[in-house]
Amino acid sequence: QDHLLTAKQLSRSDIEAVLERAAEFDDDPEAARDLHAGELLALCFFEPSTRTKMSFETAAKRLGAGVVDMGSVDDSSVKKGESLADTVRVVEGYADGLVLRHPKQGAAKLASERVDVPVVNAGDGAGHHPSQTLLDLYTIREHAGLEDLSIGIVGDLKYGRTVHSLAHALTNFGARQHFVSPESLQLPRSVRYDLHEAGAQVREHEDLEAVLPNLDVLYVTRIQRERFPDDDEYEAVAGEYRVTPELLDEHAKDDLSVMHPLPRVDEIAPEIDDTEYATYFEQAHNGVPVRMALLDSLL
Ligand code: CP
């Protein structure tokens, strides 16, 4: 059974195949209308989501499939103490594929070992978020190209699952990756080790201004209050980086693309939204054709 659990499992050719198929769906969404008629996708989100959940639902429906949704944890039998293993064993009987978001790292892997339908990891704690990476790569390819890319990734690199997945996937394309964070939010040792083993070109910085002039893409992330064990630790780094029009006009290339997996808090000034730099809403919309391509290959 094929699953999508981490970006580490994706080769360059796997990624290119999904991006090509996504481009076909982007050009002609109607062509997909009945491709998966009669199939059902289960959505099990144990953490909040707007983009991932809604774009998977949209993607499934655009392919002609239906969706069954566990709903919020508070409205499900998780509230009565049901285990993840039991929940997914039950849900696999209702659907042809399962999209899972869960606060525990490794949850999607555990689910994949318990069920006989494809599982997509839609975010497992501070682990991975590989379908986000595919739409990130699709967006980067449209704006800057994936060859000879210089990208800055700024913010919460420690707990940021979108960052961990994107960094692995970019290694396939030989990107120069500049990681910018406070010392306490640097990449986890395990991610750094895996990137080193994969031959990634990585540099780490604390000063965003100094790296900006070299970048084709700036990938901004939220400092995630909900992942910190201690609120004082969060307060010590909150608001550390704030991307403003003045900062970009002074230090960035004119054709820099600013990306963000969203939601944002205050790390990108709203005044950037209507400038040529802003790519993050388009990035979120790319979730639909990319997840159509992913579901088309897995279902
Ligand atoms: N980018 C992302 O995962 O957004 P949601 O949390 O809204 O799904």
What average pLDDT does the segment 75-80 reach? 94
The ligand 1 atom at the shortest distance from the C-alpha of residue 262 is 1
pLDDT of residue 224: 79
Which residues fall in the annotated binding site for carbamoyl phosphate? 51-52, 101, 129, 132, 262-263
Q: How far apart are CA 236 and CA 11, in angstroms?
A: 38
* Ligand 1 mutation target, pool 51, 53, 54, 166, most atoms within 8 A of CB: 51
Digit-coded pLDDT (tens) for 224-276: 788 888 888 888 788 889 999 999 999 999 999 999 999 999 999 999 999 99
Q: Pocket around ligand 1: residues whose beta carbon is below 6 Å from it? A: 49-52, 123, 132, 261-263
Digit-coded pLDDT (tens) for 145-186: 999 999 999 999 999 999 999 999 999 999 999 999 999 999
Q: Do domains 7-128+286-298 and 130-285 have the same CATH topology?
A: yes
**Domain boundaries defined on the chain:** 7-128+286-298, 130-285
Is 176 catalytic? The answer is no
Digit-coded pLDDT (tens) for 108-135: 999 999 999 999 999 999 999 999 999 9
Residues 6+ apart with CB under 8 A from 115: 88, 89, 91, 92, 98
Q: How far is the CA of 25 from the centre of ligand 1 (A)?
A: 22
125 torsion bin: left (phi>0), alpha (psi -120 to 50), beta (else):
left
Q: How far is the CA of 55 from the centre of ligand 1 (A)?
A: 10
Q: What is the topology classification, in CATH, of domain 130-285?
A: Rossmann fold (3.40.50)
The ligand 1 atom at the shortest distance from the C-alpha of residue 48 is 6
Is 62 catalytic? The answer is no
Q: How far is the CA of 68 from the centre of ligand 1 (A)?
A: 19
Whether residue 291 contacts residue 135, with contact meaning beta carbons closer than 8 Å, is answered with yes
The ligand 1 atom at the shortest distance from the C-alpha of residue 52 is 8
* Ligand 1 mutation target, pool 44, 45, 50, 133, most atoms within 8 A of CB: 50
Q: Which CATH class is domain 7-128+286-298?
A: alpha beta
Closest Cα to atom 5, ligand 1: which residue? 49
Q: How far is the CA of 100 from the centre of ligand 1 (A)?
A: 13
Q: How far is the CA of 285 from the centre of ligand 1 (A)?
A: 12
209 pLDDT tier (thresholds 50, 70, 90): very high
Report pTM.
Answer: 0.96
Q: Answer yes or no: is pLDDT of 1 > 80.
A: no
